[in-house]
């Protein structure tokens, strides 16, 4: 699930400081015939400089924005020798998982037949072990007596991958997970395409196995192949959401396509919680492709969506992301709106429910469903605004001038007559900048400097102030 480099970096990217307009990297997307790394087809980028023409184009890994996680790099116009191509293919092969999904499913069947005393999980290899494999892992740490309950909750058994830009597995807290599932059921959805939301998928699977009358089904698409040890090929697809790549090839794509077919009128919703350090453009491109697959399969639902006043062009979706990416998401999905509900996470120090001020979780639900349909819990401090026709945070007071509930972060915002909009309560109007900003800001700060200290000549990641 989501999480990651949320504070300064996230807000900077959201405000476009790293976008094509200012200098930096611009994503050109998936190009036909793109070279591949272990994470599937690479994405095409171009280096840009303010006021200068485009730089040279290059391919880089779609999933890893840190070179030490995947150092794939190739200039677009580079001639790659046969020897280097062969070495690259060998490298890609060597970086694939040791077992296939099918083999993992067979191993799981054998594992559950073992008595409790023989059920072991290697913490170093993150792998369920069969007795014949114990010897090979003898000097590793392992967990013993793995219960059925633990097998049904793999997100708690597996060690979270907290690389912030690639995986960032900050997992939904039970409160948020239960709220999402209750909301999905209340809205009448019976199928959930869980894209990077293992804990929601887990909760659905668990309830389906325990409650006879539970009718919701889920398919998990995730880049974390460790989940293939616990779920069948109909329940999990190894998937990279940054380049819409199914590692299982045509069979996995067909599994996803079939799941999106709304048999017997079972309505589908997609729920996604990407790493917050991920490129919004790349994510939006993949989500549009998943929507296109849904649209091809969607026939009977058209009448229903017209009845409830929804655009039948888009698959219903919840995209869980920080509020400061709102303008970026709306750029790609104009039909989306942001809900005030604060999503919180179990294994994240800051994003916990009940914090106040700047410590509140900045994570929200973006959706293309009609806002008035999304009922938020009154007991947690949400209220219905009759003018906006949506549930809002109790601190989000309706502004008569803007004619909307304008707060994004749960605090009460104030209207600035000069800016002609509502701003954060800690901001004041600066006559030099001709806009509202923090009181101790540097006036007319240029985009060329470092985001941390404002000085030119280095980037935020190498800023001496960070040390």
Label residue 431 exposed, middle or buried (CB < 10 Å: 0-12, 13-18, 19+): exposed
Cα 386–chain centre separation:
31
CA–CA distance, 99 with 372 (Å, rounded to integer): 47
> Is 224 in the same domain as 90?
no
What are 228-265's pLDDT values in tens digits?
999 999 999 999 999 999 999 999 999 999 999 877 67
Cα 138 to Cα 131, 132, 135, 143, 229: the distances in Å are: 11, 11, 5, 12, 21
**Above 60 in pLDDT, residue 349?**
no
In a domain, 434, yes or no: no
Cα 364 to Cα 147, 187, 284: the distances in Å are: 34, 18, 17
CA–CA distance, 42 with 92 (Å, rounded to integer): 12
> Is 106 in the same domain as 66?
no
Provide the pLDDT for residue 420.
86
Q: How confident is the model at residue 465 (pLDDT cuts 50, 70, 90)?
A: low
> Is 118 in the same domain as 205?
no
Whether residue 364 contacts residue 321, with contact meaning beta carbons closer than 8 Å, is answered with: yes
In a domain, 410, yes or no: no
Name the residue among 266, 99, 132 with its Cα closest to residue 189: 266
Provide the pLDDT for residue 251.
96
Provide the pLDDT for residue 15.
38
**Above 50 in pLDDT, residue 366?**
yes
* Backbone angles phi and psi of 455, in degrees to 5: -80, 150
Residues 6+ apart with CB under 8 A from 28: 43, 44, 45, 46, 57
Q: How confident is the model at residue 431 (pLDDT cuts 50, 70, 90)?
A: confident
What mean pLDDT is predicted for residues 387-410?
Answer: 85
> Is 113 in the same domain as 204?
no
What mean pLDDT is predicted for residues 357-361?
Answer: 64
> Is 235 in the same domain as 256?
yes
Of the two residues 467 and 449, the one the predictor is more confident about is 449
Dump strand ranges (E) for 8-118: 23-29, 36-37, 40-41, 43-49, 57-60, 73-75
CA–CA distance, 416 with 315 (Å, rounded to integer): 38
Which CATH number fits the domain that encloses residue 221?
3.40.50
Domain C-terminal end among 356, 374, 394: 394
- Residue 246 structural domain: 174-304+311-394
Provide the pLDDT for residue 143.
93
CA–CA distance, 341 with 319 (Å, rounded to integer): 12
Q: What is the mean pLDDT of the chain?
A: 84
> Is 382 in the same domain as 279?
yes
Cross-strand pairs, 415: 422
Q: How many CB atoms lie within 10 A of CB 291?
A: 20
**Above 80 in pLDDT, residue 162?**
no
Q: Among the listed ranges 105-114, 155-164, 249-258, which one has the minimum average pLDDT value?
A: 155-164
Whether residue 297 contacts residue 291, with contact meaning beta carbons closer than 8 Å, is answered with: no
Domain C-terminal end among 54, 76, 95: 95
> Is 79 in the same domain as 122?
no
Q: How confident is the model at residue 462 (pLDDT cuts 50, 70, 90)?
A: low
3: which DSSP letter? Answer: B
In a domain, 390, yes or no: yes
Q: How confident is the model at residue 205 (pLDDT cuts 50, 70, 90)?
A: very high
In a domain, 107, yes or no: yes
**Above 50 in pLDDT, residue 406?**
yes
Provide the pLDDT for residue 308.
45
Instruction: Say how many domains are in the chain.
Output: 3
What mean pLDDT is predicted for residues 19-47?
Answer: 82
**Above 60 in pLDDT, residue 226?**
yes
Helix (H) or strand (E) holding 423: strand 421-423
Q: How confident is the model at residue 419 (pLDDT cuts 50, 70, 90)?
A: confident
> Is 336 in the same domain as 359?
yes
> Is 253 in the same domain as 388?
yes
Which CATH number fits the domain that encloses residue 118?
3.30.160
In a domain, 460, yes or no: no
Using the CB atoms, write b or e for 43-69: b if 16+ within 10 Å. bbbeebeeeeeeeeebbbbbbbbeeee
**Above 50 in pLDDT, residue 7?**
no
> Is 204 in the same domain as 255?
yes
Of the two residues 449 and 170, the one the predictor is more confident about is 170
**Above 60 in pLDDT, residue 311?**
no
What mean pLDDT is predicted for residues 411-439?
Answer: 87
What mean pLDDT is predicted for residues 202-224?
Answer: 93
Provide the pLDDT for residue 425.
86
> With pLDDT > 90 as the criterion, what percentage of the chain qualifies?
53
> Is 87 in the same domain as 208?
no
Q: How confident is the model at residue 446 (pLDDT cuts 50, 70, 90)?
A: very low
In a domain, 43, yes or no: yes
In a domain, 139, yes or no: yes
Of the two residues 1 and 412, the one the predictor is more confident about is 412
> Is 275 in the same domain as 318?
yes
What are 134-145's pLDDT values in tens digits?
999 999 998 999
Domain C-terminal end among 394, 421, 449: 394
Q: Whole-model pTM?
A: 0.84
Q: How confident is the model at residue 170 (pLDDT cuts 50, 70, 90)?
A: confident
Provide the pLDDT for residue 136.
93
In a domain, 236, yes or no: yes
Of the two residues 20 and 261, the one the predictor is more confident about is 261
Mean pLDDT: which of 126-130, 164-168, 306-310 is highest? 126-130
């Amino acid at each position: 699930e989501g999480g990651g480099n949320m504070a300064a970096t996230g807000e900077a990217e959201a405000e476009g400081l790293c976008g094509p307009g200012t200098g930096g990297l611009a994503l050109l997307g998936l190009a036909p015939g793109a070279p591949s790394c272990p994470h599937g087809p690479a994405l095409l980028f171009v280096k840009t400089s303010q006021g200068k023409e485009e730089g040279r184009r290059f391919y880089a890994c779609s999933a890893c924005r840190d070179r030490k996680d995947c150092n794939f790099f190739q200039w677009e116009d580079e001639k790659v020798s046969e020897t280097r191509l062969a070495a690259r293919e060998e490298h890609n092969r060597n970086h694939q998982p040791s077992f296939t999904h099918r083999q993992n499913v067979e191993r799981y069947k054998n594992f559950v037949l073992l008595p409790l005393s023989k059920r072991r999980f290697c913490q170093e290899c993150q792998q369920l072990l069969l007795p014949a494999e114990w010897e090979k892992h003898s000097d590793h740490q392992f967990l013993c007596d793995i219960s059925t309950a633990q097998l049904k909750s793999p997100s708690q058994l597996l060690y979270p991958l907290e690389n912030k830009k690639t995986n960032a597995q900050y997992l939904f807290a039970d409160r948020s997970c239960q709220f999402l599932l209750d909301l999905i059921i209340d809205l009448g959805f019976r199928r959930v395409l869980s894209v990077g939301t293992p804990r929601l998928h887990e909760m659905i699977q668990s309830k389906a196995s325990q409650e006879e009358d539970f009718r919701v089904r889920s398919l998990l698409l995730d880049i974390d192949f460790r989940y293939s040890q616990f779920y069948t090929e109909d329940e999990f697809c190894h998937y990279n959401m940054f380049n819409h790549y199914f590692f299982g090839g045509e069979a996995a794509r067909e599994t996803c396509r079939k799941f999106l077919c709304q048999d017997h009128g079972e309505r589908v919703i997609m729920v996604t919680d990407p790493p917050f350090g991920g490129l919004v453009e790349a994510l939006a491109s993949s989500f549009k492709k998943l929507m296109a697959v849904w649209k091809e399969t969607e026939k009977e639902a058209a009448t229903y969506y017209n009845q409830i006043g929804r655009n039948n062009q888009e698959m219903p979706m919840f995209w869980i992301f920080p509020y400061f990416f709102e303008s970026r998401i709306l750029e790609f999905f104009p039909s989306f709106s942001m809900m005030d509900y604060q999503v919180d996470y179990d294994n994240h120090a800051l994003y916990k429910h009940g914090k106040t001020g700047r410590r509140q979780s900045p994570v929200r639900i973006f959706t293309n469903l009609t806002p008035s349909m999304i009922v938020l819990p009154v007991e947690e401090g949400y209220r219905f605004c009759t003018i906006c026709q949506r549930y809002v945070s109790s601190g989000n007071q309706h502004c008569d001038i803007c004619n909307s509930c304008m707060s994004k972060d749960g605090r009460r915002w104030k209207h600035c007559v000069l800016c002609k909009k509502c701003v954060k309560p800690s901001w004041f109007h600066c006559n030099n900048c001709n806009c509202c900003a923090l009181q101790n800001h540097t006036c007319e700060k240029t985009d060329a400097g470092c985001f941390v200290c404002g000085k030119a000549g280095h980037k935020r990641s190498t800023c001496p102030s960070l040390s």
